[in-house]
């Protein structure tokens, strides 16, 4: 009778030992979005923003206009407690700014809009020099990452130094 409690304990501990969900960043489209581009007809009737099934995250939730990163993910399992970490280098600024958004990912294909809004973005005519985006699990482990071409120094520039 002794092995049965040990087997039961092992089965209960097994889900914690499963590997992290496989997350793929299918596409990342950065670009400016005006506040009125989020308005939908249903909002006029309900008073609530209709996200169209997308997850909309904003650095300043009360502000809609800003520079957004449309991120399409593909996951084999849901990732509750996930976070999107976005680092952005702006023109005329020496160090990148880091923004972290809570973003629980559902299983399958999903679109998340991570927006730098309000005073966190200089304006519609500003584009980042470089950016880096990572999806992190609840413990901070990197599940997926991508970056703009200029985020990393090209090998030739490093070798020249």
| Cα–Cα distance measured from residue 73 to residue 111, given in angstroms and rounded to the nearest whole number | 6
| Cα–Cα distance measured from residue 4 to residue 133, given in angstroms and rounded to the nearest whole number | 46
From 18-27, 67-76, 79-88, the region with the lowest mean pLDDT:
18-27
8: its two tokens: 């039961």
Q: Is-contact 63 35, C-beta < 8 A?
A: yes
Which three-class secondary structure state does DSSP give residue 5?
Answer: helix
Distance between the two ends of the chain, CA-based, in angstroms? Answer: 69
- For tokens 């399958």, the residue is 108
Q: What pTM was computed for the model?
A: 0.80
Q: Could you count the other beta carbons within 10 Å of the beta carbon of residue 79? A: 23
The domains located in the chain, with CATH, are 19-149 (2.60.40)
> Is 44 a residue whose pLDDT tops 80?
no
Percent of the chain with pLDDT over 90: 69
| Cα–Cα distance measured from residue 10 to residue 85, given in angstroms and rounded to the nearest whole number | 35
List pLDDT tens digits, range 1-34: 455 444 434 444 444 444 557 999 999 999 999 9
Q: Could you count the other beta carbons within 10 Å of the beta carbon of residue 108? A: 11
């Amino acid at each position: 009778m002794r092995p049965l409690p040990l087997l039961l304990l092992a089965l209960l501990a097994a889900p914690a030992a499963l590997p992290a969900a496989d997350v793929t960043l299918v596409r990342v489209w950065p670009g400016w979005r005006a506040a009125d581009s989020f308005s939908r007809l249903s909002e006029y009737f309900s008073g609530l923003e209709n996200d169209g099934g997308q997850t909309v995250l904003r650095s300043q939730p009360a502000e809609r206009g800003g520079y957004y990163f449309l991120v399409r993910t593909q996951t084999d399992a849901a990732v509750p407690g996930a976070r999107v970490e976005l680092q952005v280098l702006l023109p005329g600024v020496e160090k990148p700014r880091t923004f972290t958004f809570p973003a629980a990912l559902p299983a399958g294909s999903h679109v998340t809009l991570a927006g730098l809004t309000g005073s966190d973005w200089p304006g519609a005519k500003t584009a980042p020099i470089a950016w880096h985006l990572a999806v992190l699990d609840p413990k901070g482990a990197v599940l997926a990452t991508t970056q703009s071409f200029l985020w990393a120094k090209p090998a030739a520039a490093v070798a020249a130094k």
